[in-house]
A and B are shown apart, each in its own frame.
Chain A
Amino acid sequence: MHRRTFSRKYLGIPYAAFLLLFVAAPLIVLIYYAFTNGQGEFTVQNMTGFFSDPNTLGTLCYSFGVALVTTAVCLLLAYPLAYILATSRLKGKSVIVLIFIMPMWINFSLRITALKEILTWIEGNLAYHPFLNTVLGMSYDFLPFMILPIYTAISKLDGALLEAARDLGAGEAQAFLRVTLPLSLPGIMSGVSMVFLPAMTNYVVLDMLYNSTYIMGSLIGSYFAAYNWNGGSMIALILLGIICLFTLLTGGTDDENRRGGALL
């Protein structure tokens, strides 16, 4: 008989159980529902239904548009900011970074409600600009997710590389384009995937901004609300497929750049 010794792998048991119960099991249920009809018989009707219905396809395209514009807005706002923060020699730099992360510590619905009040004050009736409001709300919500990985990527950049570029005849702009930008790309990718994917599905922002438009998330919600578990599951599954595809296309994300995100 040998003594049982404590092994480090036992520490993984709680997480494995959690994974099994709340990720693997619901996924199996999801797949089951997606490929069956109300009577529990196998069918692909849910899938063909999704791709033949102009309404659902329209929602997909609209979600895509919202996510794309949101990501673009976040990137345009975040990159220059992250660059300035990472390259400045300010002493209280970490405090400034904190200021940009701080909104994350305030309850999300509280922040969106505040935004709603401001937008109502400016626009009068929020229903007039659904797309603009959605993008504004989401950009506001997801911006820190874009700033942090880019900031991390640029801060990690070895200053000697920029000096080398300057030394080899590159002006400041050339050094940025040929060294800083390509080397901060993993940070950009990380930020993009952290903004784009939730922007496809997060319908709470829309709802809270009294928005009548639908994105993928709200579509699924409406199916479930109507007790159409099968149709809703199929849409969720298709969305999952799209997200997987997208993640593959961006080449996954660099582990090190995730660390920036982990701060949140």
Chain B
Amino acid sequence: MEQTKNIIELKHITKTYEDGYSAVSDFNLEVKQGEFITFLGPSGCGKTTTLRMIAGFDIPTEGEILLNGKPITSLPPNKRPINTVFQRYALFPHMNIYENIAFGLRQKKTPEKVIAKKVKKVLELVDLEGFENRKIDTLSGGQQQRVAIARAVVNEPQILLLDEPLGALDLKMRKEMQLELKEMHRELGITFIYVTHDQEEALTMSDKIVVMSEGKMQQIGTPEDIYNEPINAFVADFIGDSNIFNGIMTGKLKVRFCGGEFACVDDIEEGTHITAVVRPEDVTLTRPEEGRIRGTVTSVIFKGIHYEITVESGKNEIVAQSVHSARVGDRVGVQVEPDNIHVMIAEDHTNIFAAEINKNYELEYNGTVLPVDLTNVIKGSVMSEDGTLLDAKGLEIDPKKVRIKISIKPQDIELTDDQEEGLVQGCISNLIYKGDHYSYVIHTDLEQDFVVNDEYLWNMEDQVGLIMPVEKMIFTVKK
């Protein structure tokens, strides 16, 4: 027997719009009474749509929502014991604070005396005593936020939904409100469902985090689980800083990435393509001869309590955090403890590599200029008249400070005999027959591993060129 019951259950929820776009697909979730659960993901991942379906503003195209075991899938929002704190507050501008907070209670025909008492109490809860008669437009953003929270919790909902409630506040205010919300959650004992794209906020506040991407749940777990045991490269990349490498299992509890062989604790079959994730704080820098791999320090940034040191080994970049400083140009060794290497089977593998921006603001990889327009890659950027690239805020982009991450799927890369034709060259270091195609690992001259699917048979140690069509590449900007 479970001690606490599920307050809300989402079963196979799918939301598809008329134009065929699926905002959420096959989403399953169980939330326990009193939990603080956070939907975390980049914008457009479907987290707000999911919240809106729980609130009743959107109706799922498929699936069922159960509240205390009873279906509420198509119940209108006013019939649900659920209240929402809106992203931009949505306070009624024609009412004072008292009337705003009393709105929900009046709908329930609560006697005026009870309303007055409850409004007073909830204003104390949000530290706005005596603000009853103030008008909305005389309040600061933080105060409006508090009124929005008060207006929702005064109805004593079973579930409180918060849609990026702190997004419009400045950093200091946001930190304060995070603690206050957490405290409020403890005091009220209501189930909180929180939506944010800020991973730090999610880690600080939640009992449980649901990481979402492209309408699908990627991982669900406690903040510790999500941080320490990310299930795939997306989660690892989204939560905290990560070094993510493509690699391959080379033996029992042995993995190779970045051109070095490491011991690991994940028992995965030899020859499997994997993604290895190493947190910067788990990377140990040693003398060159003591490290599994060797590299050169390319940047050192002081971060207050530690230094962030970037080491380049071949074309791989490894970010380490260390209390000891290093000098740019130092030769160092890199060592990682076995249980700090998180190995994931790369079933849906994506090759990720970094490209540079050259002086002419062209994207360059391995000495080849890629035929793409940078203004399309960096959102909102424009080419100025004097030939410099400006970002969305009109500031000049420093090509040295911006890196572009390129993702490409294994099936989108083509192998060729003519090595010069390829964007990068390498030798086949592993091959597996997958029924209708071969899956190859190509170890490039730049010490990177690429996974390529090809229907033709190549031999181990064959030297090949990798043709990567630009239109199949996905670009993300890394500062």
Contacts and interface: CB of A to CB of B under 8 A. Distances in A.
Decide whether A and B are members of one complex: yes
Interface in A144-175: 158, 160-161, 163-171, 174
Given A168-B83, A168-B103, A178-B103, A163 B78 contact: no
B194 to A, nearest CB: 16
Interface stretch (B89-97, B244-252, B373-381): B89-97
Interface of A: 158, 160-161, 163-171, 174, 178-179, 182-183
B92 A164 contact: yes
B88 interface: yes
A161 B104 contact: no
Contact of A167 (B83, B91, B93): B83
B141 interface: no
B57 A168 contact: no
Nearest to A162: B90
Interface in B53-83: 55-57, 76-78, 82-83
A161 B92 CA distance: 7
Nearest to B80: A167
Interface in B156-171: none
21 contacts: A158-B90, A160-B86, A160-B87, A160-B88, A160-B90, A163-B57, A163-B77, A164-B91, A165-B92, A166-B57, A167-B56, A167-B57, A167-B84, A168-B78, A168-B83, A168-B103, A168-B152, A168-B155, A169-B155, A170-B78, A171-B76
A178 B93 CA distance: 12
Interface of B: 55-57, 76-78, 82-84, 86-88, 90-94, 103-104, 107-108, 151-152, 155
A170 B83 contact: no
A169 B90 contact: no
Contacts of A171: 76, 78
B90 A170 contact: no
B153 to A, nearest CB: 12
Given A174-B107, A178-B103, A166 B77 contact: yes
B167 to A, nearest CB: 14
Contacts of A160: 86-88, 90
B92 A179 contact: yes
A227 to B, nearest CB: 53
A164 B152 CA distance: 9
Contacts of B93: 161, 183
A213 B228 CA distance: 88
B92 A170 contact: no
A171 B76 CA distance: 9
B92 A169 contact: no
A169 B78 contact: yes
A166 B55 CA distance: 10
Of the listed residues A165, A167, A169, A183, the one surrounded by the most CB atoms of chain B closer than 10 A to its CB is: A167
B173 to A, nearest CB: 21
Given A174-B107, A179-B92, A182-B94, A164 B78 contact: no
B74 to A, nearest CB: 14
Contacts of A158: 88, 90
A168 B104 contact: yes
A158 B93 CA distance: 10
A160 B144 CA distance: 15
Contact of A164 (B76, B82, B86): B86
A183 B104 CA distance: 18
A166 B57 CA distance: 9
Contacts of B77: 163, 166-167
Contact of B107 (A161, A163, A169, A182): A169
Contact of A170 (B55, B82, B107, B151): B107
Contacts of A167: 55-57, 77-78, 82-84, 152
Contacts of A169: 78, 104, 107-108, 155
Query: Taking each of B56, B86, B92, which has the highest tally of chain A beta carbons within 10 Å of its own beta carbon?
Result: B92
A164 B107 contact: no
B94 A183 contact: yes
A182 to B, nearest CB: 5
Nearest to B151: A168
Contacts of B94: 182-183
Given A169-B78, A169-B155, A178-B103, A164 B108 contact: no
Contacts of A174: 107
Contacts of B107: 168-170, 174
Contacts of A165: 92, 103
A167 B85 CA distance: 10
Contact of B86 (A163, A170, A178, A183): A163
Nearest to A159: B90
A186 to B, nearest CB: 10
A11 B366 CA distance: 61
A181 to B, nearest CB: 10
Nearest to A186: B94
A153 B68 CA distance: 41
A161 B76 contact: no
Contacts of A178: 103
B75 to A, nearest CB: 11
A166 B92 contact: no
Nearest to A165: B103
Given A169-B108, A170-B78, A171-B78, A164 B90 contact: yes
Contact of A166 (B76, B88, B108, B151): B76
Which of A163, A168, A170, A179 has the most chain B CB atoms closer than 10 A to its own CB?
A168
Given A164-B91, A164-B151, 5 more contacts: A161-B90, A161-B93, A163-B57, A169-B107, A182-B94
Contacts of B87: 160
Nearest to A179: B92
A166 B86 CA distance: 13
B157 to A, nearest CB: 9
B328 to A, nearest CB: 50
Contacts of B155: 168-169
A182 B94 CA distance: 7
The 5 closest A-B pairs by CB, nearest first: A169-B107, A168-B104, A160-B90, A164-B90, A166-B77
A33 B91 CA distance: 54
B80 to A, nearest CB: 8
Nearest to B81: A169
A9 to B, nearest CB: 31
A164 B55 CA distance: 10
Nearest to B55: A167
Contacts of B103: 165, 168, 170, 178
A160 B152 CA distance: 14
